[in-house]
Structure 1
């Protein structure tokens, strides 16, 4: 158990590592500042700092200590649907919750989480288990109930075996790296390295979806459209404020004029 606990602590550090070293807007590194609020995200603060990565940046006039607009208004984006929700725990206005795993900090509407979230400790989000393994496990359970199971071994069992061999001095030096979780930058999907789809590495008409950087692994699952001339998926994810419905400004002007 001691070995497993240590591995989980290392994973928590790795998980937050990438977020600290790349911009939340463009997913590239460089001269960044970190939000002092709950989200802990990093951003290119000024136009010059984002030129190399073609980042929209925060548009600040100078680098400074700051709270991003989400943390200032206590309205954060759900990492599933992308819509804003109140994270303010005071006054009963909270409609969005934050994962309590150290280094994660992602927000969710409770109704957007998959049903099996109840099997995870606390308010942990789906990014703490391999998406591929969960699918195999669900299929295996379904086949078992219908008497068709072939006894397929999930990666979770393989990981336990690897940890057991490691504590007994039988590790071959492969299991730990293969079982590292690689996290999608755009949605709550994570994969063990050995479970990653082969096509994400590019080639044969496929666009590369994974890069090893100084800050860690940057990865986008196949659910997201990539930008060919940039090393990222479409950069339309960040939302700082709620958009007014079309015609809202005109209607407001009419209402004001009728007062």
Structure 2
């Protein structure tokens, strides 16, 4: 993505969109992003990924502290300097399957996991995993 982003403690280029009460930051479509942190499952002041996963995170240890979240580990200054945010999975086009939890490539032409086709869902799935969920107990139909 273009625009000034920041570097995460892991060296990833990241860019913020906020969900929460931080003046000066906003989320372009709050209703699309998760309203709980992908790391701890708690709400609060969250940084929202602008990629296809639609996940949200506690960006700093301070924002994650009430829930004991390990957070993304950014400083407040790093977050304030960001203009956009892409999580590790969206940056590297590798997402975890919503059924089995294994990470897979999510970009064509060699995609292993595919995004749910509902606009408000950011989950990814292996075709065989989602098939077994849609056809439990019927391996022939799931294949």
TM over 0.5: yes
Counterpart pick for 1:98 among 73, 95, 115: 115
TM-score by length of 1: 0.37
Q: Mapping of 1:48-197 within 5 angstroms?
A: 48-61=62-75, 62-63=78-79, 64=82, 65-89=84-108, 92-115=109-132, 117=134
1:131-171 CA distance string (max 9 Å, x none): xxx99xx9xxxxxxxxxxxxxxxxxxxxxxxxxxxxxxxxx
Structure 2 CA distance for partners of 1:41 and 1:107, relative to 1, 3 Å: same
Deviation of the 1:19 alpha carbon:
5.1
Deviation of the 1:55 alpha carbon:
0.2
Regions of 4+ moved over 4 Å: 16-19
Deviation of the 1:105 alpha carbon:
1.5
SS in structure 2 at match of 1:85: strand
Q: Which runs of 5+ in 1 are unaligned?
A: 1-15, 119-133, 139-259
Deviation of the 1:60 alpha carbon:
1.6
Counterpart pick for 1:21 among 35, 38, 47: 35
Aligned residues: 104
Root-mean-square deviation over aligned CA pairs: 2.6
Q: For the pair shown, which has the larger CA radius of gyration, 1 or 2?
A: 1
SS in structure 1 at match of 2:66: coil
Q: Which runs of 5+ in 2 are unaligned?
A: 1-29, 139-143
Instruction: Name the structure, 1 or 2, with higher relative contact order (CA <8 Å, separation 6+).
Output: 2
